[in-house]
Amino acid sequence: MAITARQKQLVQESFSKVAPIADQAAEIFYTKLFEFDPGLRPLFKNDMKSQGRKLMSTLKVAIKGLDDLNSLVPVLEKIAVQHLDYGVRAQDYTPVGNALLYALKMGLGDQWNPELRQAWVDTFRIVAKVMKDKAYG
């Protein structure tokens, strides 16, 4: 499983357009995440605004890291292990991915299209696979 250069470009460019509304995007993400799976709410003990900033910061690192996947993998693996301590389960990656797609769609509006959606889906699948393989493999 891999992403193309075009997909990487689409993901990076679209994320840079969402970055200016990072707080709103994070709020949309968490609202939708808890709609998809209310059982995830207790995993978040901190202030949600602070949590949202961490999310967006982590996404920024991951999206920039697409330029050097060999360097990104250890970062993702470290995050995966940390998430085990928070109580994250393998099946939690699905609602997270779906909430991310929803937040991006809302944040990008008319710029969201099938090609961009597929680029994000493929990128998230790779990220989730690396993280789940480390945490549960």
Mean pLDDT score of the chain, rounded to an integer?
95
Angstrom distance (rounded) from CA 89 to CA 60 = 23
Angstrom distance (rounded) from CA 125 to CA 46 = 27
The CATH number of the domain where 56 resides is what? 1.10.490.10
Residue 19 domain boundaries: 5-136
- Whether 1 has a pLDDT exceeding 70, the answer reads no
pLDDT in tens, 23-51: 999 999 999 999 999 999 999 988 999 99
- Whether 125 has a pLDDT exceeding 90, the answer reads yes
Share of the chain above pLDDT 70, in %: 99
Question: How far is residue 20 CA from its own chain's centroid?
Answer: 17
Q: What is the per-residue pLDDT for 23? A: 96
Count of domains observed in the chain? 1
- The arithmetic mean of pLDDT across residues 111-125, rounded, is 97
